[in-house]
Amino acid sequence: MQIAGQDLSAQKAYFDGTHRLCEPAETIARVTPHLARMGITRVADITGLDRIGLPVSVAIRPNARALSTSQGKGRTREAAQASALMESIEGWHGERISLPLRIESWNTMASERDLPDPLAFGLRADAHLDPALPLVWAKVWDLMTESPAWVPYETLSTAFVESEDQRPLLLKTTNGLASGNHLLEAIVHALFELIERDALTLASLARAPRRFIAQDMIPDPYFQALAARLDKAGIVMVIEDVTSDLAVPTFTCEMIDDPRRGNWRALPSASGHGTHSDFTVALSRAVHEAIQSRVTIISGSRDDLFPHDYADALSLEAQLALTEAANRTQSWMPPILPTTHMRFEDELQALLDRLRALGIDHAYLADLSRDDVGIPVVKLVVPGLEPPRSAVYRPGARAASVTAAAAKGRLT
């Protein structure tokens, strides 16, 4: 596959709950010499804070311009450590973007090229965009048109330290920020994240019956062993299929201490999400991310955890409602994938083809990798995919379509 004039190819070689170029231990060895340079002071194993016992790590970067802690999960201790480190590394790169910049108005840029509507980029609900006023733009690569392009700088930067008078017009998020052992690996994982967040937002707006999955219908031995482990620990797990019209398997997992069991404690519900072409990997990510969320809540280490985040721990009614959801399950058949992609370029091409089929014409790649560090990091921006819902989220075209369909269903 050609990207920005480079012929790129990468073979998958590690398949334990994920698809990667190499084993986690090799990733850790590769990035460790650069940690001090990026201000990552330590990595802690916090698995023992919860009774589940599945690996969770946290990487600490005290002078971050966003979150100073990055969590990591995986099936092994090394996988969790690599996950935490790579997330912290992504953040450091996203705060220090070094790309060619331009200052132009939206009108000027739109007159020069095919530029999607501002709403497709994630315009904030509290923002008013004057298309005649100047914005900062960064030069990127369009994976769809295979040509250079420009996107608003705000869609790339994850430096959140700013003054009151610097309120952005567009959503600034880490959505689509990813790292990897190879540029293609990073791009694929960034795209999976964008597809996941889009699916979660659409599912939250659809008002359709939730697709809770009967766990004994899931044909994955690892998942079945994990479900038995959680049940023995007195933890209720609810799995929901939120796969969107892109047909890339996407699941959400919610878990909580069962209030009817003797080892119950007042702990908020924890959720996790996962998307992957291989449904077993998507499931594994969702469950392990929920486990990670539990340990993160217990540790209280994240900068964005506040007292209200713990409020539902005191509501026995809310917790019983979740345990009841575990009983509202339905039979489920895993998606049948025509091809198992053994190379990252083939998987990327298949995902881009699915986007095109839904009328999404641009997928902007910002290569944030630095020559002086040598770790592949990217930020992917796909106008048209919905961002995560937040207090300043403004629905785009896909969300508006789902909302209209939901309203029509209620009227009929």
| CA 77/CA 87 separation, integer angstroms | 16
pLDDT tens column, 148-182: 999 999 999 999 887 777 788 999 999 999 999 99
pLDDT at 262 over 60: yes
Tokens 């091409």 identify what position? 349
pLDDT tens column, 109-136: 999 999 999 999 999 999 999 999 999 9
Q: Residue 206 burial by CB count (10 A; 0-12/13-18/19+): exposed, middle or buried?
A: middle
- By the 8 A CB rule, do 42 and 60 touch? yes
Average pLDDT value for residue range 348-376? 96
Q: Within its chain, how far is the Cα of 251 from the centroid? A: 12
Look at residue 383 in the predicted model and tell me its pLDDT: 97
| CA 247/CA 193 separation, integer angstroms | 14
Closest CA to 316 of 256, 232, 271, 227: 256
pLDDT at 332 over 80: no
Look at residue 329 in the predicted model and tell me its pLDDT: 67
- HSE of 6, CA atoms in CB hemisphere, 13 A: 12
| CA 396/CA 208 separation, integer angstroms | 19
pLDDT tens column, 184-225: 999 999 999 999 999 999 999 987 778 888 888 888 999 999
| CA 381/CA 147 separation, integer angstroms | 15
Residue 312 — very low, low, confident or very high, per pLDDT cuts 50/70/90? low
Question: Average model confidence (pLDDT) for the chain?
Answer: 91
pLDDT above 90 coverage of the chain, percent = 75
| CA 190/CA 4 separation, integer angstroms | 17
Per the DSSP assignment, residues forming a β-bridge with 364 are 142, 381
Look at residue 261 in the predicted model and tell me its pLDDT: 79
| 113-117 long-range Cβ contacts below 8 angstroms, 24+ apart | 113/149, 113/150, 114/361, 114/362, 116/361, 116/362, 116/383, 116/384, 117/383, 117/397
Q: Determine the angle formed by the axes of helices 77-94 and 24-31, rounding to 10 degrees.
A: 40
Look at residue 178 in the predicted model and tell me its pLDDT: 98
pTM above 0.85, yes or no: yes
Look at residue 338 in the predicted model and tell me its pLDDT: 41
Look at residue 209 in the predicted model and tell me its pLDDT: 75
pLDDT tens column, 138-151: 999 999 999 999 99
pLDDT at 314 over 70: no
Average pLDDT value for residue range 41-67? 96
